[in-house]
Amino acid sequence: MTRDDFIAVENFSFFYGEKQALHDIDMAIPERRVTALIGPSGCGKSTLLRNMNRMNDLIEGVRHRGDIRLNGHSLYDPKVEVISLRKRVGMVFQKYNPFAKTVYENVVFSLRVAGRNRKRELDEVVERSLRSAALWDEVKDRLHDSAFGLSGGQQQRLCIARAIANQPEILLMDEPCAALDPTATLKIESLIRELKEQFTIVIVTHNMEQATRCSDRTAFLYMGRLIEYGDTKQVFENPREEETEAYISGRFS
């Protein structure tokens, strides 16, 4: 049984100083599904995504109201340690950012930080993560070469392998294909569809076709408000709100 409100965003507002970036967002993100956040630049989709692993905590002067629960437990519970939270919530960014290390060391980086250095375990994690990221066959003979020698698409899949090495429950992706060519983009999209068998995925994308191809649920945000949230098919075939229709149809001023 999967949970329909694996990530429960409850009446959540977020402020950068005086500026309110999110207004009373309520949404239940289902477990082991892909949920896309779409909307024009500055609508708050990345802010919402980054709140799901409390990355915004690093910014001075921010505050929130409301709550976000992961599998029923508040992210903002004082007992929650941010480091352990981030083990549960992996993140992939717009620009692929492998470390200046080998392919192998990129994948096992978080394990080594946690003091896990047993070679057999690390080997297993590397193979499992690279296979899950659909990269194993391409790099299995280059594990000890620099990650920078890989193509852009391969580097992004390596970042995904790194993000899932710790077997998080959730994978957040902030425009993961924005810096990739169409072929590499399709590979990542295919990978996203495969990864949802294991992880709950939330993806921010400006690419409408990508949202339709990859996601099961789509949320449209505008000016910090959740305008519409529903099954991707419904949102793109028959949106309930005029603003959603205008945005996805390209009639948005």
Partner 1 sequence: MEPKTPHIIREFDEAFNALGKTVSMMAAQCLLNLERSIAGLLTRDIDLCRAVIADDNDVDDAELKVDAAGLEILVRFHPVATDLRKVISSMKVAANLERISDHAVNIAKRAKKMLGKMELPETQLVEPVYKMAYDLMKDALVAYTDQNAALGASLRDRDREIDRAHKRVIATFSERMEEGGDITEAYLHLIFVVRSLERVGDLAVNIGEDAVFLDRAEDIRYSKSRASDIAGEEEEESA
155 vs 244 by CB, closer to partner 1: 244
User: Residue 251 interacts with partner 1 (CB under 8 A)?
Assistant: yes
Q: By rule CB under 8 A, what string of x and - marks binding of each residue 131-160 to partner 1?
A: ------------------------------
Q: Are the C-beta atoms of residues 14 and 62 closer than 8 Å to each other?
A: yes
105 vs 228 by CB, closer to partner 1: 228
Rounded Cα gap, residues 28 and 225, in angstroms: 15
Smallest distance, Å, CB 212 to partner 1? 7
Q: Which helix (H) or strand (E) holds 36?
A: strand 34-38
How many residues contact partner 1, by CB under 8 A?
Answer: 15
What tokens appear for 94 in the block? 């717009």
Residues of this chain, 63-102, that bind partner 1 according to CB under 8 A: none
What tokens appear for 119 in the block? 């070679």
183 vs 253 by CB, closer to partner 1: 253
Residue 20: φ, ψ to 5°: -90, 120
User: Residue 186 interacts with partner 1 (CB under 8 A)?
Assistant: no
53 vs 244 by CB, closer to partner 1: 244
In Å, the largest CA–CA distance within the chain is 56
CB atoms within 10 A of CB 115: 6
Instruction: Report the half-sphere exposure of 2 (CA within 13 A, side-chain side).
Output: 15
Smallest distance, Å, CB 175 to partner 1? 19
Q: Which helix (H) or strand (E) holds 129?
A: helix 119-132
Rounded Cα gap, residues 202 and 218, in angstroms: 10
Smallest distance, Å, CB 223 to partner 1? 18
84 vs 253 by CB, closer to partner 1: 253
Smallest distance, Å, CB 182 to partner 1? 14
CB atoms within 10 A of CB 162: 25
Q: Are the C-beta atoms of residues 24 and 66 closer than 8 Å to each other?
A: yes
Smallest distance, Å, CB 242 to partner 1? 9
Residues of this chain, 187-246, that bind partner 1 according to CB under 8 A: 208-209, 212, 236-239, 245-246
- Tell me, what DSSP letter sits at residue 175? S
Residue selected from 72, 78, 182, 250 as contacting partner 1 according to rule CB under 8 A: 250
148 vs 252 by CB, closer to partner 1: 252
Q: Which residues make up the interface to partner 1 (CB under 8 A)?
A: 208-209, 212, 236-239, 245-246, 248-253
